[in-house]
Every structure is written in C-alpha cells, then in structure tokens.
Amino acid sequence: MLDLTGKHALVTGIANNRSIAWGIAQQLHQAGADLGITYLPDDRGRHEKKVASLVEPLNPSLFLPCNVQNDDQTRALFDAISEKWGKLDILVHCLAFAGKEELSGDFSDTSREGYLRAIEISSYSLVQMAALAKPLMADGGSIITLSYLGGVRVIPNYNVMGIAKAALEMNVRYLADELGPQNLRVNAISAGPIRTLASSAVGGIHDMLRHFEERAPLRRTVTQTEVGNAAAFLCSDLASGITGQILYVDAGYEILGM
Ligand code: 0WE
C-alpha cells in the first residue's frame, strides 16, 4: 500500500492552486506525509500570504521562504529542517524560471544572462538542494523533480527552458548515481502540458493544449492530481527499486513520432 506515514517531505514550487507542486503536496498529505512547504518571498509578502492560506488545510509543520538565488536563505531552510525534524525523507523540487523574452522568438537570440539565469534557477537549484539535503537524508529517501518533453525534443518557444530541462534530467542521473549508496533515490516526472500560472504566461499555450488533446493517446491533458499520484508513488517504498528515471505522466504523448 502507498503509505507515507511518518515521512517528512519538503515541497517547493507552490505558487497557487494550479501549481503542479500543489497537486503533489495534496497527494503526499493524503498518503500521510508530514509536510514542509516553501514559497518564493517577495517584498510585499503577497506570495507568503497566498501560499500560506492555500496550504493551511495540509497542516504543514514547516513553512519557510526559499529563493534558490539566495544561498543564505536556502541554507537556512535546511538548517530549520534539521532543527525541526532532524532528518528528511522526501524532497520535491518544482522550481523553474526563464525570462519571458527567452520563451519566444529565435533561440539564438537567447542572451548570456537569460541563459545562465534559466539554468541557475531551473537546473542548478536541484544540485544545490541535493547537496544540502544529502546529510539529512543519510538513511535514504526520495528526491523528485519536474521535467518536460521540451528538454528532450524541440517544442516551439520552449527555447532555453529546453536546455535547462536537458541539464536537469542529466542532474537526476548523476545525483542518482552519487546518492544511491545511501539508499537515496532521485527521479523526475516529465509532465504533459497543463494550464498553470507558468504555462498561462506562455504564448500559444491554448493551441498547444488543443493539439495535445487531439493527439495524445488518452486524448486529453493530465491533471495536477495525476502528477501528484505519480509523485507519491515515486516517493514511496513501492518505488524502492527505481532511481535515475524520467517517468512520463503525459497521457502517452511521448511515444508519438507524428
Ligand atoms: O516548464 C514549463 C514552464 C516554465 C516557465 C514558464 C514561465 C512563464 C512566465 C519558466 N519560466 C517562465 N517565465 C515567465 O516569465 N512548462 C513545461 C510549461 C510550458 O512553458 C512553455 C511551454 C510549456 C508547455 C514555454 C513555451 C512553449 C511551451
């Protein structure tokens, strides 16, 4: 049975009720996990308020700011986990960012600054968090992250995010090899396109979703709950033999050639 009772899980990347991370947090909670939630702090405290009221029903025992571009703040997050829980069982990484100007137009117009920022926030942050989590996960556990097909194949306008996801997926493999000896598993879920805050800001997303609904084997998009269920599985002992993998939760779209 899928049972996460007594497990401490840190979930990053919740922005609102459409976030995939929100779907994951709900399913981990339903499976009995004790949650820590992070939010991206802003100077007016609006994210903090919004995410706090959203996650209130899940009774998180930790609720802390985390901007991965701030090393001190990210270190403080894991210090707080160490103090409160003494260990960590599950780390859910759902962070990505590229400048809006990088997500349309010619890929070759990507600026050095935009390229490095996308890789820093969307790829390096997994390495950064894995390093901080490693001593807290000495008895094993599960790290998961979110990827997208645009990291493996060309998706119009995904541009530098595709490079970031390709690096992210390779991070998963190198981390899985390094952390396997401490029974710490590292996997990614490659989700199909979903209407979220991140995707709604993307030009042409409606046409993409319509194409997806016409062509995906299941003839529909996937839901945050379906990604959450796959995440709960990967984080549970049911997936004890699985590491270094990219699990497609995409209504079958990835198998198609045309
Ligand atoms: O990984 C993503 C989205 C990531 C993302 C989205 C934004 C929009 C707002 C990263 N950074 C930003 N920056 C912003 O300013 N997806 C898989 C969703 C997505 O994004 C696309 C897609 C799909 C699907 C961008 C272009 C084409 C397709």
* Catalytic residue check, 39: no
CA 82 to centroid of chain Cα atoms: 22
CATH fold of the domain at 8-248: Rossmann fold (3.40.50)
Helix, strand, coil % over all residues of the chain, rounded to 5: 50, 15, 35
CA 42 to centroid of chain Cα atoms: 20
**Atom 14 of ligand 1, nearest CA residue:** 100
The full length of the chain comes to 258
* Catalytic residue check, 158: yes
Question: Would the CB of 164 count as within 6 Å of ligand 1?
Answer: no
Domain range summary for the chain, segments of one domain joined by +: 8-248
**Atom 15 of ligand 1, nearest CA residue:** 100
86 in the Ramachandran plot: left (φ > 0), alpha (ψ -120 to 50) or beta? left
Task: Return the exposure string of 77-109: e unless at least 16 CB atoms fall within 10 Å of the residue's CB, then b.
Answer: bbeebeeebeebbbbbbbbbbbeeebbeeeeee
Per-residue pLDDT of the chain (258 residues; tens, 9 = 90+): 999 999 999 999 999 999 999 999 999 999 999 999 999 999 999 999 999 999 999 999 999 999 999 999 999 999 999 999 999 999 999 999 999 999 999 999 999 999 999 999 999 999 999 999 999 999 999 999 999 999 999 999 999 999 999 999 999 999 999 999 999 999 999 999 998 888 888 878 999 999 999 999 999 999 999 999 999 999 999 999 999 999 999 999 999 999
Quote the pLDDT of residue 195: 85
Rounded to whole angstroms, the Cα distance separating 124 from 146 reads 13
Quote the pLDDT of residue 201: 82
Ligand 1 centroid distance, CA of 6 (Å): 34
pTM beyond 0.85: the answer is: yes
Q: Of all atoms in ligand 1, which is nearest to the CA of residue 165?
A: 1
